[in-house]
Amino acid sequence: MLAPVLQEVTLNPFLRTGGTPPAGRPVPLETGLTHFLSGRPLSPDHPAAPLSEVLFGMGCFWGAERVFWLEDGVWVTSVGYAGGLTPNPTYQEVCTGRTGHAEVVQVVFDPKIIDFDSLLRLFWENHDPTQGMRQGNDVGTQYRSAVFAADAGQMTRASASADAYSERLVEAGFAPLTTQIAPRPAYYLAEEYHQQYLAKNPDGYCGLGGTGVSCPIGVLS
């Protein structure tokens, strides 16, 4: 019988072949303590209710984070790694494809001001969820489209919106979406220079781009 880690490696579809994942480390990477724009604390664990959170993978997390920090009702954003096996991975380790992680943005929000459906609409319309392990010129498992839901309600809404939006995409000539929808796994904050990158570097790279297919709120009802 395979050891649990090796068994998970064997079953994880988001790992490149070529050996077991990097071992990682028991302590978090050094990163920023506060949001560059709002000054609010960055943490892999979101604040208590009434705030909620979700993790979105949309390709390069630099542009994805900016989409959400601009919205009223979003309390704080951060970027990091989720959905893989290596604990506290570095950016270099994630880029090998051998950790299985996706680049994600953590969105901590007040549902009384911005609801989860509105965040899903931003998610679907601001990237191409039909490309599998890539976004445009960014290729690799870390660039996959993903929703990592914080609770059962988010899972239900995300799955329903995926079904509805996939129909719209196919009608518009796109392939069906390839988005991974799963319960929230461990979330590891990325290195400090990645946090709010496009606020610190306004002319920095952003490969984010949508399909042009709208996802009206009615799709999510």
Question: CA-CA distance, 108 to 17, in Å (whole number)?
Answer: 34
Question: CA-CA distance, 170 to 151, in Å (whole number)?
Answer: 29
- Phi and psi torsions of 5, nearest 5°: -65, -45
Question: CA-CA distance, 160 to 66, in Å (whole number)?
Answer: 25
Report the catalytic residues: 60
Question: CA-CA distance, 121 to 125, in Å (whole number)?
Answer: 6
Residue 212 C-alpha from the chain's centroid? 20
Question: CA-CA distance, 16 to 80, in Å (whole number)?
Answer: 20
Do the beta carbons of residue 190 and residue 61 sit within 8 Å? yes
